[in-house]
Amino acid sequence: MGEDGAEAAAVARPAPWRVTGAWFATNLTAERARWPLWLPAFMGAGIGVYFWLSVEPALWIGPALLAAAIAALGASWRYGGWRWPAAVTVALTLGFAAAQFEAHSVAAPVLGHRIIGPLAGRVLVVDPLPEGSRLTIVPSSLGDLAPADLPARVRVRLRHGDGGVTPGDGVRLRVSLEPPPAPAMPGAYDFQRRAWFERLGGVGYALSAPEKFDAPAPGAIVQAIEAVRHGVTRRIRAALPGPDGAIAAALITGETHAIPPDDAGAFRDAGLAHILVIAGLHMGMVAGICFFALRALFALIPPIVLNHPTKKYAAALALLLTFLYMLLSGTTVSSRRAFVMTALALVAILLDRLSLSARALALAAVAIMLMTPDSATGPSFQMSFAAVAALVAFYEAWRGRFAAWHRGAGTLKRLGLYALGIAFTTMVTTVATAPFTVYHFNRLPLYSVAANVVAVPITGFWVMPWAIVACLLMPVHLESVALIPMSWGIDAVTAIAKGVTSWPGAVLTLPSMPAWGIAVAAAGGLWLAIWRRRWRWWGVLPLAIGLLSAGYERPPDILIAGDAKLVAVRAADGSYLPSKAKGEHATADSWTKRAAAAMGPAWPAAGLSADGLLACDGGSCRYSARGAVVTLLRDPDAFDRAQCQADLVVAPVPAWKICPGARIVDRVDAYRDGGYAVWLDAGTVRLESVRDYQGARLWSPRQHERVKVTGEGS
């Protein structure tokens, strides 16, 4: 071919970006029926944008953006090319506006300081714990606080039992309460934000036993439901004392706080934590057992079965019973999602229509995000929907193959296919939830397939049927007849969990992923789950990038607690060396969890640490790493002022007079800004505080902690 022919061929060959665009447009057009499934994802992205902001937006911004997006959608309705971009914009702004509305609608006073004094109020929730219990109280008086400053709710821990109180009781007791604690470090779990949306204005413990008094009869249906839940939980634990009763209560009433930490940890590390959380497995079993039992019952009555649509009657009653189970379970995010999907399947029976699982899941996501937008940022929502979305996508692709395998299969083959289905289900859900597991919990169970293949059949065919029978027998006080055999299955599942976690390398501990990593992984997972054509496999790339992003983040070299009394430095082996060996366990656990590191020995009284990075004397320590030097003050009276010549000075006392002109993080800074994370690099020091991480949001108060004793006995 001559030069002219080569030039003509080059001109005729389309540009790569045109080829890519055409390929993308072809696939997108072919998947048109799946487009609506992306709307919940964009709604969730809008919610994420609201919580990502570092400054609270003006209240009018959300409604204004939503109104503008709706107007744009109406204007573009005649133009097909602009209709879907406008719909996406509506979904984004709807999520943003819903989150902003919820954040302002739940606003309530938050304590600005610690209060030690008398509390009177109405008990809203009683949570049993492995030791003692926890009361959520709507206060009518607290110390000398004015009525306008009273929190909407406070949470008080009782060290022994529950004091005989039930939801709805009026109580008086003496308490020590303080504002909800800030995150232990930048990026750590933000209890202040959770407390804001739960309307918790103070947390603490009781200094006296609660004294009940006659309170006005509450008319709230929520409180009546809580009273029923508490009564059922108490009867279950009375019939089954110990861990079995706590797990049985978790499966029936959703009350998980009483499960001993060792048992809860074993379930989590074996990949069986989903058994303890009422979700699709439990809701599906309850609906299925009720539906088929009712159909069998109707079949025994010829006048009914011959003259009435008993299938629809069974579906309607099963829907009612499933709804009652959701209320009994505490209406958690996972139980609400499971109920919506189960309800859609039962309604489809009533309407003689097939239920579309993917659309049912999308509808459930939209419903929950509209009701409680903040839940979309939590692990329950994210892991629940990720698992179900992956399963729906998997079985959409494999439904025909599984149906072919079941045709003509004998009993043994069906049992084998059932075990294979559990294995596939576990593998799919493990991969789908892995990014969220790493992001929120820093732990990834490696033997979950083996554990689930054995534990799920026991739960589905033994434990849950007995749970339903126990609920039916409670009105006649015969629940023990069912709870005892139920406990046998619980013992078996617990033994499986503990056995699997004892295997070598049962859990992989990983550092926390950055926020951008979880967002990229979620986008990749959605791409895989929503599309049907082969281009869906491109979602593996962002999913893998998101999972690997945990390795991109370098853990802090120094961590400083919110009171500056606990400081930890990173050793050469990656562990953290704390300034003191005892105390502040929750803070230290949070630090090591996020970095996937161990907590090493405390600083030496004098001399060098094992790696030589930390040199201590009586008054201070000097930490040298990455070309920077940090002075860690211990005793101001024995402190050598020459050590102020460092890149940073960290002190548990006000230090601006001790080291004038030096760069300092002291007790005043920590009280004002919360905990600090410090990175050292090439002789430079980068600081980030909890205040920087939280930003100026509704749930991040800017108050100094101080102790105030009020009321009687002050």
Q: Which of 458, 463, 454, 456 is nearest to 484 (CA)?
A: 463
The predicted-structure confidence for 646-665, as pLDDT tens digits, reads as follows: 999 999 888 888 888 889 99
CA atoms of 436 and 51, how far apart (whole Å): 17
Written as one letter, the residue type at 624 is S
According to CATH, the topology of domain 114-218 is: OB fold (Dihydrolipoamide Acetyltransferase, E2P) (2.40.50)
CA atoms of 494 and 117, how far apart (whole Å): 42
* DSSP state, residue 504: T
> Residue 78's pLDDT is what?
73
Whole-prediction pTM = 0.86
How many helices (H) and strands (E) in the chain?
Answer: 25, 20
Tokens of 120: 């009177």
Tokens of 672: 């004002």
CB 405 within 8 A of CB 424: no
CA atoms of 195 and 205, how far apart (whole Å): 16
CB atoms within 10 A of CB 354: 9
Where are the domains positioned within the chain? 1-30, 31-105, 114-218, 233-509, 515-551, 558-682
> Residue 305's pLDDT is what?
78
Q: Which residues of the chain have pLDDT under 50?
A: 1, 703-714
> Residue 68's pLDDT is what?
94
Classify the C-alpha dihedral 100-104-107-113 as positive or negative.
positive
Question: What residues have CB less than 8 Å from 296, skipping those under 6 apart?
Answer: none
Strands (E), 584-656: 607-608, 614-616, 620-625, 628-633, 648-650
> Residue 538's pLDDT is what?
93
CB 152 within 8 A of CB 201: yes
Tokens of 179: 């504002």
CA 258 to chain centre: 18
> Residue 3's pLDDT is what?
54
The predicted-structure confidence for 464-492, as pLDDT tens digits, reads as follows: 889 999 999 999 999 999 999 999 999 99
